[in-house]
Amino acid sequence: MTKKLKILNVGCGKETYGTHFVDLYPTRKEVIKCDVDKEKLPFEDNFFDEVYSAFLIEHLKNPGFALKEMVRVLKKGGKLVIKTDNAGFWLYHLYLPFKVCRQHYGGYESKGTKDKHYSIFTTEHLKNHLTELGLKIKKIEYFEKNYDGLKKKWLGILYLLVSSFLYNIKIFRRMAYKHILIEAEK
């Protein structure tokens, strides 16, 4: 008989990955309302096999508190998975009239009054946070979630060309993609 893993999705939004869900703005009945910026997660210590959070920490005023809580509810040997925006992404540093270029410079379209960007991270920032909490880094990847804000086909092609070019040059790899995935073990 296989043991069913307990997976907490923190800041789940409409995502259904996981067995337990918390969010400031619950979108369905099984999501527990929790302001992870200042409230403890409503679970006991060492409860989850995995804690997963996608595109949340950049919206927190106090990401250290939230990360500490995620680690608290994670079992020994459990996996923490964080996805977030990549502070080094080349297009974030150009102020062009496209959503992807403006989201970290005041052009973010929020879902509520408290939903704003407060921080942006590099892989080093994430490693610092997680190793300080006693976790072992297992995997770091750069990835592309989507090409939102690039509705014109020519711009999407230009974007892919520049990102591919940067990724193939090792010293520019950190600038090539919009997002970071980091996995760590408790």
Please state, in angstroms and rounded to a whole number, the distance separating the CA atoms of residues 25 and 5: 25
Class in CATH terms, 7-185: alpha beta
Residue-wise pLDDT for 17-47, tens only, equals 999 999 999 999 999 999 999 999 999 999 9
pTM of this structure? 0.85
Inter-CA distances, 170 with 66, 140, 150, Å? 33, 15, 26
Residue-wise pLDDT for 87-122, tens only, equals 988 777 776 655 555 556 555 555 555 567 888 999
* Ranges of each domain in the chain: 7-185
Question: Which pairing describes strands 179-185 and 74-85: parallel, antiparallel, or unpaired?
Answer: antiparallel
